[in-house]
Amino acid sequence: MKKEKQILSRIFFILLLLFAAVRQTDAQESTYTESQGSLITPQFFGIDPYGGKDPGWPQFFELLNEDSLNFGLVGFGIGWERIEPAPPQGGVHSYDWSSLDERMQIVVKSGRMADLDILCRSDWATVVPSSQIERPLGMSPPKEDANSDTTWGMTAYQAWSDFVFNLVERYDSDGIDDAPGITRPALRYLHLGNEPEAPDHFLAYGGSPELYDRMLAVTYEAAKRANPNILVVRGRSNPGNIFDDNPDEVTLRARSGDYLDFLTTSLRLGSEHFDVFAINFNDHYTGLFPFVRWLKTEMAKNGYTKPLLVAAARTTLCPRDNDAPVHILPPRYPPGFMESLRDTSHPQHIANRTLYHADEVRQSLRKMVVALASGQEAISLQPGIGPVIHPRAIWRDAGLIDAQVYRATGDLRKARKPVYYAARQLMDVLIGADKQVKILDLGADVFAYQITKQGKNFFLLWHEDPFDVDSQGLVRRGQKVAVDLTPFVSTPQVRVKYFVIELDSNYAPIYPSDVIVSANGVVIDETPLLVESLNPTSVEDKRENIPQRFLLYQNYPNPFNPQTTICFYLLRREHVTLKVFDVLGREVATLVDGEVNAGDHAVLFYAKDLPSGIYFYRLTTRSFSQTKLMEVAKL
């Protein structure tokens, strides 16, 4: 009897705790509404698996989850001709969704959302048949006289509208005409085409600014009719390669030519049939800022009212080389350099490989933070997985995964490159941080960005002069300069964290040890540093190379319904917070907030009152913070 009373007492106590947690969550949600969407969430980061037909495509996302790389978006494209190869008969469509269903199911299973390009191509309904469109990104406007064939029962524009409507409806998980396996909304962004201003993407196939605007209007109306929450995107524009950080319009036009002519004409049409204006960010990163300034000014002239219209910036993880006869950018490397990366017997293979990896890390990380600083809504890194077939070596060798290693071994784990781990290091800091990123002026050729997370400042720093080359044609390395961070921190010392730029013989990342240095003399070079301000109220250990071991494990089970277990390990006693957030950055639960002893710990998270979807949980101590994804999957 006494034992039964004890059990009942414990159950009652647990119920009281659960009730308090629910009440606390409600209070947190009500006080958080004013700052909703002010934090960086996984939805800011995307991965575009260029070469996505490879059989390793699904395993790549399993690997991302295993390694806690919190890319919230998956980018890829689909052509109309793949879904509807034959015209409708008497107003009845015959769609083949099998290929797209397979990809969208992978996206949903991975806990992400799709960032989808749709291309208007058809052998029966577009001005130029898809069989005559050479480039994979090309598209053509629908035929104007397509209603002459009475057997269709509609015009070509009506057929395109139906296609868009049915596509959005199929992946919105509202219980109406949903695809198999789509248990939650799978589609976040819907792009109309890629670089529509490029002559060989649209203009060469019967397109014009006026016709693109009409297509955008049809696409917008059909998508919103299916799902008002879908974000329709004006197809990613490529501003060209601009190397002046503050060019006037004459300079912009000289560099970009027809691109800006197309854009200005399109904007002056006065229609705003999109939610987001997307930019391709393939090339030199400094070109983004002046283009954004010009674009916002041009949009304001024409009465566009939407905030942050420049969004979904695309990046490519590729440094410049000199192997191709036509350069996208001025060469960074001498002829034959990229070939030495693929030839393991080359005498300079190891040295050049290390140099290449450091460059790739710098270019990738700076693009992520530049996208934030210029007010973008999302950024996708591409390509993500090989093999990539492309005449330019910079594309063949680009990516988070080493296509050469993957082709030789078939093992994605062995093919992970240093930039894969470096991206995780930066994302662990950025996710949960404030969206407002400050650009600091710390001297010539010094790139400095301040990130604030939970009241603490972090700085991403590097030094670079991209046009200063040595006698062998290589950009000079080792240009070390010292910067003073004392105006931005409240302690005389700061912690310097180094990014991964090398792997060991077992393909594992080599994490350099953190060091604590004087805030008025942080030495930087071309490899980015992450500098963290110290807590002025704490006693920091000034010794270098002190091992730190704090671990946040993936919750299990995952997906779960309605409860899951979250485990973590502490090296020493710490004040710990463990919180759960939704995809908009809103805090929905605090699981731990207090002093916790060293060792392993397990916390039960009960999500009975939460809707299905993606959430992320974050463990924070005085010296450690990490975030992971989890999914509530209810029937």
> Which SS3 state, helix, strand or coil, does residue 427 take?
helix
pLDDT score recorded for residue 222: 97
**Is the bond preceding residue 319 a cis peptide, omega within 30 degrees?**
no
DSSP-based helix, strand, coil % in the chain, nearest 5:
30, 25, 45
Which one has a higher pLDDT value, 404 or 92? 92
Contacts of 19 (CB under 8 A, 6+ apart): none
What is the sign of the dihedral through the CA atoms of 42, 46, 52 and 54?
A: negative
pLDDT score recorded for residue 331: 57
Which one has a higher pLDDT value, 41 or 123? 123
pLDDT band at 96 (very low <50, low <70, confident <90, very high): very high
- Residues 194 and 48: their CA atoms lie apart, in Å, by 13
pLDDT band at 93 (very low <50, low <70, confident <90, very high): very high
Which one has a higher pLDDT value, 569 or 54? 569
- Residues 117 and 113: their CA atoms lie apart, in Å, by 13
pLDDT score recorded for residue 406: 81
Give the position of tokens 């400042």.
457
Could you tell me the CA-to-CA distances from 351 to 53, 59, 360, 511 in Å, in that order? 33, 31, 14, 19
pLDDT score recorded for residue 123: 94
Closest alpha carbon to 393 in 356, 345, 421:
356
pLDDT score recorded for residue 169: 96
Beta-ladder partners of 145: none
- pLDDT above 70 covers a percentage of the chain that reads 75
Q: Is the pLDDT of residue 198 over 90?
A: no
The most confident of 23-32, 105-114, 142-151, 376-385, by mean pLDDT? 105-114
Contact present, 451 and 431 (Cβ < 8 Å): no
pLDDT band at 205 (very low <50, low <70, confident <90, very high): very high
Q: Is the pLDDT of residue 293 over 90?
A: no
Question: pLDDT tens digits for 561-603?
Answer: 877 878 787 877 889 999 998 877 788 999 999 888 877 777 8
pLDDT score recorded for residue 421: 92
pLDDT score recorded for residue 322: 52
**Is the bond preceding residue 330 a cis peptide, omega within 30 degrees?**
no
The total of other beta-carbon atoms located within 10 Å of residue 66's CB is 11
pLDDT score recorded for residue 330: 53
pLDDT score recorded for residue 58: 79
Cβ burial of 121 (10 Å; 0-12, 13-18, 19+) is buried
Phi, psi of 232 (to 5 degrees): -90, 130
Give the position of tokens 């295993």.
66
Give the chain's mean pLDDT.
77
pLDDT band at 265 (very low <50, low <70, confident <90, very high): confident
Contact present, 574 and 596 (Cβ < 8 Å): yes
Q: Is the pLDDT of residue 50 over 70?
A: no
pLDDT band at 220 (very low <50, low <70, confident <90, very high): very high
Could you tell me the CA-to-CA distances from 496 to 367, 432, 519, 521 in Å, in that order? 21, 20, 10, 12
Q: Is the pLDDT of residue 20 over 50?
A: no
- Residues 462 and 522: their CA atoms lie apart, in Å, by 11
Which one has a higher pLDDT value, 355 or 541? 355
Question: pLDDT tens digits for 299-323?
Answer: 788 777 654 444 444 444 455 555 5
Q: Average pLDDT, stretch 614-629? A: 85
- Residues 425 and 438: their CA atoms lie apart, in Å, by 20
Q: Average pLDDT, stretch 37-50? A: 77
Which of 55-69, 87-101, 466-480 has the weakest average pLDDT?
Answer: 466-480
The most confident of 9-13, 149-153, 253-257, 326-330, by mean pLDDT? 149-153
pLDDT band at 378 (very low <50, low <70, confident <90, very high): confident
Q: Is the pLDDT of residue 530 over 50?
A: yes
- Residues 437 and 191: their CA atoms lie apart, in Å, by 26
Q: Is the pLDDT of residue 32 over 60?
A: no
pTM score? 0.75
Beta-ladder partners of 482: 523
- Residues 613 and 572: their CA atoms lie apart, in Å, by 34
- Residues 314 and 43: their CA atoms lie apart, in Å, by 14
Q: Average pLDDT, stretch 190-198? A: 87
Q: Is the pLDDT of residue 469 over 80?
A: no
Contact present, 414 and 81 (Cβ < 8 Å): no
- Residues 421 and 510: their CA atoms lie apart, in Å, by 10
pLDDT score recorded for residue 36: 33
Closest alpha carbon to 459 in 361, 387, 532, 381:
532
pLDDT score recorded for residue 547: 35
Contacts of 270 (CB under 8 A, 6+ apart): 302, 303
The total of other beta-carbon atoms located within 10 Å of residue 76's CB is 22
Q: Average pLDDT, stretch 610-617? A: 86
pLDDT band at 85 (very low <50, low <70, confident <90, very high): very high
**Is the bond preceding residue 557 a cis peptide, omega within 30 degrees?**
yes
Contact present, 152 and 146 (Cβ < 8 Å): yes
Contact present, 146 and 155 (Cβ < 8 Å): yes
Tokens representing 195? 């670089």
pLDDT score recorded for residue 368: 85
